Each structure stands twice: as structure tokens, then as C-alpha cells.
Structure 1
């Protein structure tokens, strides 16, 4: 292993990129927005995985599978966001502490909650992230970066679908009888 260290780019620095034909001030704003979305997406990913691992009850399998798929989608979105930030000349956020510090959402505590509470927390987090991403779609469009706007739109569609599914899981209608009513 090499002992020589050579920093190629500072973490908070955005380098000019000629290929994409966006000026420096615009790319700096876009990279900042993308890093916010990246941080939020990773916080969401970890919360979804936590719930995926800890879900119990009569509807275990369907919720377990749903949360696993939702977490995979969040991980894929995070990768796309990070790669776009890098393509714009930025350095994607890395490391749990920096991601959590830069996220516009906060993860729930380490305790395990009932699945209804967990799903409600997921739906709230999705809602907060959806609002932020919508703002960033508008920002990217306004700055003339249609590719970033389109990528964020595609991620937005997936997030809205997952939030909508969670909303259905939280409905009162169920085939499982409450033992207190029997």
C-alpha cells in the first residue's frame, strides 16, 4: 500500500467542467443541491433497511420485501445522484457523519418501533425528501441543467410511488383481526 497521499480535489471544491457547458456558479449550486439529495437519500436508505430487518407480524413478508425493494431503489438513486455531482465537477459526499450532517431529514432513533410507527416515519421522511427534490428539479431547470432535472424527476417518481404504497400499508383496512376484538 502506498504511503504517499495526494489530494486530487478538495471535498467542498467544484472544478470547472468544459464538457457540460455550464458555468462555474451554476455547477456549484447544482452540486450543493445534489449533495443534499445524496445525503437525504442515504439517510432514507438506512432507515428503510432498519425497518426491512426488523419488521414482524402477520404482514411480515410483503412489508419486508417492499422495504427491501424501496431500499434498493434508494441506493440506486444515491449512486445516480453521486455520479451526476461528480460529472458536474463536484465531490459527492461520503461517510456516514457527513451524510447525516448534510441531510435535510433526521433518522429515527436506534430503537425498534412497531411497524405502523416505522412506516409512518418512512412516509414522513419520503414526504420531506420529495419536497426538497421538487425544489431541486426547479433549480436545475432554472439553471439550464435539464439532464440533472430529468434524473431528479425520475427519482421523484419512484419516491412518490413508494410513499404512496406506504400510505396504503397504513390504511385501517386489513385482513388481520385485532386480538382484542375476538
Structure 2
């Protein structure tokens, strides 16, 4: 392990960027991107947990769906982090810093019934969708149209996956639950 302790760039600092977005504007956009990044990782960990603990007659379909959903979140997070770096910022990367920065909350370590887990996921998706829309508006108001476009692309996938959770939460199902007497 290296004993060298030279910090190349402190966290929460903004360096001049080659994209020619003024530093004060880049600072605001990077702050918003880091919030979106933190939110993505809170959602990622919740979806991953649900992937591990899902049970029931539809296990395989839901297990695979949750895997796809957390993979989509991780892909979007990567794009967001790379944009923050391109703007001269430092992507929020540690779990403590992400939890502190996030505007959404992990449901906790308890395992809930499937409907409750999916309701928690859908609520978090909704909060993230609203936050991302605000971040898109902020970026574009600051003249950073590329970040707006990047976030729009991520938002499309977030909205699609969120909508799939709505479908799973519908009352109609082909699965017959065991009667409890």
C-alpha cells in the first residue's frame, strides 16, 4: 500500500473545466449531479436488497426484473458521475457521503412483504424523478444543455422502470394466494 498522501483534488471542489462552463455555474450543476448520484446509489442498494430477498410464486420473474432495474440505476449513476468529473467536480463516491447527500432514504435492513417493498421502490422512483426534473431545469437555466440532455436520457430509463413497478403493484394477478382460515 502506498504511503503517498497527495490529494489531487479535494472532494466538493470544482476545477476549471474544458467544457467552458463557468466555474460558478459548474459548481451548481455538479452539486445537483452529486445529489442525483447519491440518490441513484440509495435506490441501487434498496433494489439489490429486494433482489436478494424476493420470494413467492413469481420469484424468478421478479428476481430478474430487480436485477435489470438495479443494473439500469448503476449505468445511469456511472453516466452522472462521469459528467460531474467532466465539469471539474468530484463525484460523490463513498457510502457515508452518498447517504448524507441523498434526498431519498433507504427503507432499512428489515425485510418486508413483496407489495410493501415494491411500494417503497415506487415511492423512491417518484422522488428521484422529481429531483432529476429539477436538476435538468437547473442545468439548462445555467446554459448547460448537455447535462440536461444527459439527465434526460437517464430519466427515460428511471421513468420506464418506475412504471414497471406500477404494473407489478396492480391488483389483478393470476397468482392465487393461499387462503388463511
Shorter chain as denominator, the TM-score bin is over 0.9
Deviations 1:44-72 (A, max 9, x none): 00000000111000111111111000000
Q: What residue in structure 2 maps to residue 160 of structure 1? A: 159
Q: What residue in structure 2 maps to residue 112 of structure 1? A: 111
User: Once the 2 structures are TM-superposed, how far is the Cα of residue 13 of structure 1 from its aligned partner?
Assistant: 0.5
Deviations 1:91-128 (A, max 9, x none): 00111110001000000010111111000000000000
Task: Establish whether residue 87 from structure 1 lines up as the match of residue 107 from structure 2.
Answer: no
Task: Establish whether residue 138 from structure 1 lines up as the match of residue 163 from structure 2.
Answer: no
Q: What residue in structure 1 maps to residue 174 of structure 2? A: 175
* Cα distance in structure 2, aligned partners of 1:45 and 1:178: 29
Q: What residue in structure 2 maps to residue 46 of structure 1? A: 45
Q: What residue in structure 2 maps to residue 14 of structure 1? A: 14
User: Once the 2 structures are TM-superposed, how far is the Cα of residue 2 of structure 1 from its aligned partner?
Assistant: 2.4
SS of the equivalent of 2:70 reads: helix
TM-score with structure 1 setting the length: 0.97
Runs of 4+ in 1 over 6 A off after TM superposition: none
**1:63-102 to 2 correspondence within 5 Å?**
63-102=62-101
User: Once the 2 structures are TM-superposed, how far is the Cα of residue 181 of structure 1 from its aligned partner?
Assistant: 7.8
User: Once the 2 structures are TM-superposed, how far is the Cα of residue 147 of structure 1 from its aligned partner?
Assistant: 1.0
TM-score with structure 2 setting the length: 0.97
User: Once the 2 structures are TM-superposed, how far is the Cα of residue 144 of structure 1 from its aligned partner?
Assistant: 1.1
